[in-house]
Amino acid sequence: MTDRTTYVQIRHAQKAFGTLEVLKDISLNVERGQIVAIIGPSGSGKSTLLRAINDLDPLTSGEIWLDGVQVNKSLPFRQYEKHINEMRQQIGMVFQHFNLFPHMTARGNVTMAPKMLKGLSDKEADALAEEQLDKVGMLERIDYYPSQLSGGQKQRVAIARALAMKPKLMLFDEATSALDPELVDEVNQVMKKLAEEHMTMIIVTHEMDFAAAVCDRVLFMDQGVVVEEGPPSVVFKNPEKERTRAFLRKHLETAS
Amino acid sequence: MDTDLMLRVYPFFLQAAGTTILLSVLTALLGLACGTLGAAARLSRFALARFLGAAYVSFFRGTPALIQLFILYFGGPQIGIQLDAFEAGVIGLGINAGAYMTETIRGAIISIDKGQREAARTLGLSRWQAMYKIILPQAARLMVRPLGVNLNMLIKATALVAAISVVELTYTAQRYIGSTYKPFEMFLLAGILYMIIIYATGRAVAWLDRKVQIV
Amino acid sequence: MGLDFSVIPGYIDIVLLGCLWTIAITVAAALLSFFGGIFFAVIALYAPAIIRLPFRLFEWVFMGTPLLLQLFLIYFGLVQIGVDLPAFVAGVIGLGLHFAVYNSELIQTAILSVDKGQMEAARTVGLSRGQALRKVVVPQAVRAVIPPIGNNMIALLKDSALVSVIGVSELTLSAQRAIGATYRPFEFYILAAAFYYVINLCMEWVQRRIERRIALSR
C-alpha cells in the first residue's frame, strides 16, 4: 500500500446471473469523505454494484476493498461468515423499502445491533439511540413502532440504525424512491447533514438535483458498464457521451 | 336417552378425558420439536438436510397416521423398539404432527420479507443471529393461528390410539358401546368432552394470537 | 425377530385386493362428501332457521369430535335402530359425512364470496331463488373451492384407514389379515404404507392437473 491509500476500491467487478452479465469489469475508487452518486436507467446494474460492496449480492469476480481490508476475501465458509459480519458492521446500508424491524420500536431498531455485536449495555445503547435519533430528527418518536411512522420517518430511523454502528461507509440504495414526494425532502436533509460531516457515501439515486447539490462525483451506468464519470458539473451540464445525454434528457421529460 | 347410565359411567369418561389431554399435550410438544427440526432441515443450506426434511414431510403426510402408529407399535419390536401403547401413541402421533407443523413453521418463516434478513445481515448479524433475533420473532406471530389448526387436528387424531388400546376417550366410548349397546349416549358423553377440550384450546390459541400481535 | 420381506409375495394378492377396496371406499366417500358438502352448504346458508340451527349444531359436533368416534356412532348406532348395514356402507357414510361437513365449510365461504350481483342478475332474468342458486351461484362457488376440496379428498384417503376398525376389508385390515397369518407386522404395515403413499401421489398429481386446468379457464 502506498501512503495515499484509497478508502474504498472496487477492482474489476464482474457479476453474471447465468449468461446474463449485470456488471462488466467495473472499477471505482472513493476517497475518505467523498460522496459518489450512481445514476442510470433501471436494470443498468447500479443497485447490484451497491449490493456487491457489502456482499449482499456477491461478485462473480473482482475485489472490493475498504480502508485497506478486502471485503470479499475468499475464505472457508465459517471464517468468511465471521469476516463478512465484521466488515458489514463497518458498512451502513439504507434500503429503498426501509426494512425496519416491525417488531421493535425505533429505539429497538437502533440499539439491537450495537447491543448484540458490540456488547453495549442497555444504558449505553439508550444514550446511543437518543443521540442517533436526535440527529435524524426522530427523538420524539423513539418509542414508536415502525407501523406508527410515515415513510419518511421510517427512512430516517433506518438511517439512524445504520449510523449507530459507526460505519466507515454508508450505502444508500434509492433511499427516497419509495417515498411520497412531500416526504423526500426530510430524508434528503438528513443525507445532506451527513455529507457536511464528511461521511463517506455511495448513493444510488434517481434524484439528479440532489446528486448535483451534494455529491463530489457522479457515475452514469448503463447495461453493466460505467459510461461516464466525473464531477456533477460536468456529467450533468456537459456530458461527453451521447448515452448520458439521452438518459438525462429522458429523465428531465419524465420528471417535469 | 338413558341418563341413569350416563350418570353412572361419566366418571370413567372424565378420567379418560384426562388421558386424552395428557396425550394431546405431550404429542403437541413432541410435534413442535419435530416441526422445528423439520423446518430447520428444510431451510438448511445443506442439500442433504433439505432432502431429509422433505422426505420426512412427504412420508408422514403421505401415509395414514394409523398405519404409522401400527408400524411403530406392532412393528417396532422387530427392529428393537419396545414401547408401551401410550409411549407409542405419543411418539407416533408426535412425529406425524411434526410433519404438518414443519410445513406451518417453514411457511411462516419464508413469508417474512427477505428485506428483513438483508437488513439484519447488513448490520453485521450472523445467519443465526438474524434468524433468532429478526426472522423468528416475526414468523412466530404468523405461526400461532396455523399451529392452532394443527393442534385442533392433533387433538382429534389422539383418538387413533384407541386402536392400540390406550384407554382414552374414544377407547372408553367404544368399550362402553360394546358393553351397554347405547352408542348414542356414549358418543354424547365422549363428544361433549372432546368439544370442551377443542373449544378451550381454540380460545387459548385466539387469546395467544391477539397477545402476540405488534401494536 | 428381524425383518424378512420375502413373506410379502405370498400375501400380495390379499393386500392388492385391500388396495382396490381402499380406492373404492375413497371414491365413494369422496363423491358423497362432495355432493353432501354442496347440500349442507346450501342448508346452512338458506334453510329456514328451524332446520338451519340444528344443522349448525350437527356441523359443530362433527368438526369438534374425532372421526373414529363418529364411525363408532354410525356403525353401532345404525345397528341399534335396526338398520344392519354392511361395514363398507357404514364406512362410506361415516367418512362421507365427516368430510362433507369440512367441504361444506369451504363451499359456504365461497358462496358468500360469489358476487351478490350474480344472484341479482339471475333473478332479473326471471330465475327463482332456487334456480339462481342451482344454475349460477353454486357452480361458481364450487369451482372456486376445487383446490382445497382436493386437499380434503387426499386427507380422506388417509383417514379411510380408520374404517378398518369397524371391519371394512380395505388396505389396512388386509395388511392385518396378512400379519395374523405371518406375524410380520413391520413388513406388511410398511407395504400398506407404500401403497397408500403411491395412491396419495397419484391423487396429488391429478389435483395439480385439475388446478392447472382451472387456472387456465380463468
Confidence of residue A256 (pLDDT cuts 50, 70, 90): low
- pLDDT tens string, chain B, 215 residues long: the values are 788 888 888 899 999 999 999 999 999 999 999 999 999 999 998 999 999 999 999 999 999 999 999 999 999 988 889 999 999 999 999 999 999 999 999 999 999 999 999 999 999 999 999 999 999 999 999 999 999 999 999 999 999 999 999 999 999 998 998 888 888 888 889 999 999 999 999 999 999 999 988 76
**Angle at which helices C87-113 and C49-64 cross, to 10°:** 120
CA dist A163 and A149 (Å) reads 19
| Mean of pLDDT values over A56-69 | 92
- Find out whether B34 and B101 touch, Cβ atoms under 8 Å: yes
Size of interface A-B (CB pairs under 8 A): 65
**Angle at which helices C87-113 and C146-159 cross, to 10°:** 160
Average pLDDT over all residues of chain A = 91
Contacts of B170 in chain C (CB under 8 A): 66, 68-69, 72
Residue A2 is predicted with a pLDDT of 41
Contacts of B123 in chain A (CB under 8 A): 88-89, 112-113, 117, 161-162, 165
CA dist C90 and C165 (Å) reads 12
Residues in chain C, pLDDT under 70: 1, 217-218
Quick check: A100 contacting B, CB < 8 Å? yes
Chains in touch with B (≥3 Cβ pairs < 8 A): A, C
Residue B86 is predicted with a pLDDT of 95
Probe site for chain B from A78, A99, A159, A173 (most B CB atoms < 10 A): A99
Among A85, A100, A147, the residue with its CB nearest the CB of B124 is A85
Q: What is the CATH class of B3-212?
A: mainly alpha
pLDDT of A138 higher than 80? yes
CA dist B174 and C38 (Å) reads 31
Report the 10 Å Cβ neighbour count for A209.
11
Dihedral of alpha carbons B43, B45, B46, B47, sign: positive
| Mean of pLDDT values over A104-127 | 94
Reduced 3-state DSSP string for chain A: CCCCCCCEEEEEEEEEECCEEEEEEEEEEECCCCEEEEECCCCCCHHHHHHHHCCCCCCCEEEEEECCEECCCCCCHHHHHHHHHHHHHCEEEECCCCCCCCCCCHHHHHHHHHHHHHCCCHHHHHHHHHHHHHHCCCHHHCCCCHHHCCHHHHHHHHHHHHHCCCCCEEEEECCCCCCCHHHHHHHHHHHHHHHHCCCEEEEECCCHHHHHHHCCEEEEEECCEEEEEECHHHHHHCCCCHHHHHHHHHHHHHHC
* Nearest residue to A54 (alpha-carbon basis) of A64, A67, A46: A64
* Nearest residue to C68 (alpha-carbon basis) of A92, B177, A107: B177
CA dist A133 and A87 (Å) reads 24
Contacts of A158 in chain B (CB under 8 A): 119
Probe site for chain C from B78, B103, B192 (most C CB atoms < 10 A): B78
CA dist C154 and C33 (Å) reads 12
Task: Work out the minimum CA distance from A88 to partner chain B, whole angstroms.
Answer: 5
What does residue A34 show for φ and ψ, rounded to 5 degrees?
Answer: -80, 155
Contacts of B183 in chain C (CB under 8 A): 72-73, 76-77, 79-80
Name the grid cell of A4: 495515499
Report the 10 Å Cβ neighbour count for B203.
10
- Find out whether A180 and A155 touch, Cβ atoms under 8 Å: no
CA dist C84 and C94 (Å) reads 15
Give the global pTM. Answer: 0.88
Q: Which residue of C has its CA nearest to B193?
A: C65
Residue B215 is predicted with a pLDDT of 61
Question: What is the domain partition of chain C in residue ranges?
Answer: 5-217
| Mean of pLDDT values over A157-182 | 93
pLDDT one-digit tens code per residue, B150-180:
999 999 999 999 999 999 999 999 899 888 8
pLDDT one-digit tens code per residue, C185-205:
998 999 999 999 999 999 999
C190 to B159: CB separation less than 8 angstroms, yes or no: no
Q: What is the CATH class of C5-217?
A: mainly alpha
Which residue has cell 419518511?
Answer: A152
pLDDT of A162 higher than 90? yes
Task: Work out the minimum CA distance from B140 to partner chain C, whole angstroms.
Answer: 25
Instruction: Write the CA distances from B179 to A73, B1, B174, B183, C78, integer angstroms.
Output: 77, 16, 9, 10, 16
Higher pLDDT, C137 or A144: A144
- Touching status, chains C and B (3+ beta-carbon pairs under 8 Å): yes
Question: What is the domain partition of chain B in residue ranges?
Answer: 3-212
Residue C218 is predicted with a pLDDT of 60
Residue C133 is predicted with a pLDDT of 82
Which residue has cell 433475533?
Answer: B133
Residue A3 is predicted with a pLDDT of 37
Residues C92, C94, C99: CA angle, nearest 5 degrees: 95
C64 to B195: CB separation less than 8 angstroms, yes or no: yes
- Find out whether C68 and B170 touch, Cβ atoms under 8 Å: yes
pLDDT of A134 higher than 70? yes
Burial class (CB within 10 angstroms; exposed 0-12, middle 13-18, buried 19+) of A15: buried
